Amino acid sequence: MLAKKEFYPEKNKILLAVDCVIFGYRDGELQLLTFRREVEPFAGEWSLIGSIIDENEDLDEAPTRILQEITGLQKVFLEQLHSFGDKNRDTGARVVSVAYWSLIQSTDKINVANHTAQWVSINKVPKLVLDHNKMVDLAIQKMQEHVRYRPIGFELLPKKFTLPQLLSVYEAIHQRPIDDRNFRRKILATGLLIKLEIKDTVNSKKGAY
């Protein structure tokens, strides 16, 4: 491969990174996947998972690569969130980060080889490095906005689930109780669900389809 011609030799170089805000759902709570940072600065502190973009890598390829490397999962919900470019955000270098948010099933087996990963409730997120807490807050806000008109809550559940389980997911996302009857009426009116002749009798005496 021929070396690229340098057209801007006098300009300062800025690193470009991506950080992934990964949400899951477990035990009635919306959860965030956090990691112990492995590199300086701030090695050993809690962080989102991220990476500097490779020179030969497209921007949207990087978060997909990271998710596959860290979780072992492919074809998961993933969207660009926002860019963070404060000149003093990273003491290690001048780094601009593009944050992405993702929804996965926290019951999935997460491939965390070479990483220390931990699911935490969004109500108990520890102090994260750099501006990662701001990324999490913005991602939660974005998720709450999008869930009103997009069926993204399904991404947090297995293929087969009950309406009470789906209601619980939406309550966890909005962080408040939701009227059961109104929720059922609106969800069923979308025509997105297929009723199976199978009942979940583990979580309720009556059972739910």
3-state secondary structure string across the chain:
CCCCCCCCCCCCCCEEEEEEEEEEEECCEEEEEEEECCCCCCCCCEECEEEECCCCCCCCHHHHHHHHHHHCCCCCEEEEEEEECCCCCCCCCCEEEEEEEEECCCCCCCCCCCCCEEEEEHHHCCCCCCCHHHHHHHHHHHHHHHCCCCCHHHHHCCCCCCHHHHHHHHHHHHCCCCCHHHHHHHHHHCCCCCCCCCCECCCCCCCEC
- Given a contact cutoff of 8 angstroms between Cβ atoms, the answer to whether 93 and 1 are in contact is no
In this structure, of 9-23, 108-122, 153-167, the range with the lowest mean pLDDT score is 108-122
Where does a domain end: 125, 146, 167? 146
pTM of the predicted structure, to 2 decimals? 0.90
Res 19: pLDDT: 96
CATH at residue 108: 3.90.79.10
Give dist(CA 30, CA 170) in Å, integer.
Answer: 9
Residue 200 pLDDT grade (very low, low, confident, very high; cuts 50, 70, 90): confident
Do residues 141 and 157 both lie within one domain? Answer: no
Give the range of the structural domain holding residue 41, as residue numbers without chain letter. 15-146
Say whether pLDDT at 193 is over 90: yes
Q: Does residue 119 belong to any structural domain of this protein? A: yes
Higher pLDDT, 109 or 51: 51
Res 107: pLDDT: 60
Res 116: pLDDT: 76
Res 98: pLDDT: 98
How confident is the model over 160-175, as a mean pLDDT? 95
Higher pLDDT, 113 or 127: 127
Do residues 140 and 170 both lie within one domain? Answer: no
Domains: count for the chain:
2
Res 132: pLDDT: 98
- Given a contact cutoff of 8 angstroms between Cβ atoms, the answer to whether 66 and 48 are in contact is no
Where does a domain end: 116, 146, 176? 146
Say whether pLDDT at 9 is over 90: no
Say whether pLDDT at 11 is over 60: yes
The neighbouring-strand residues paired with 119 are 33
Of 21, 74, 19, residue with least CA distance to 51: 19
Where does a domain end: 124, 146, 168? 146
Q: Which two tokens stand for residue 27?
A: 């035990």
Res 112: pLDDT: 53
Do residues 77 and 135 both lie within one domain? Answer: yes
- Given a contact cutoff of 8 angstroms between Cβ atoms, the answer to whether 62 and 18 are in contact is yes
Res 108: pLDDT: 53
Tell me: the pLDDT tens digits for 64-96?
A: 998 888 778 888 899 999 999 999 999 889 999
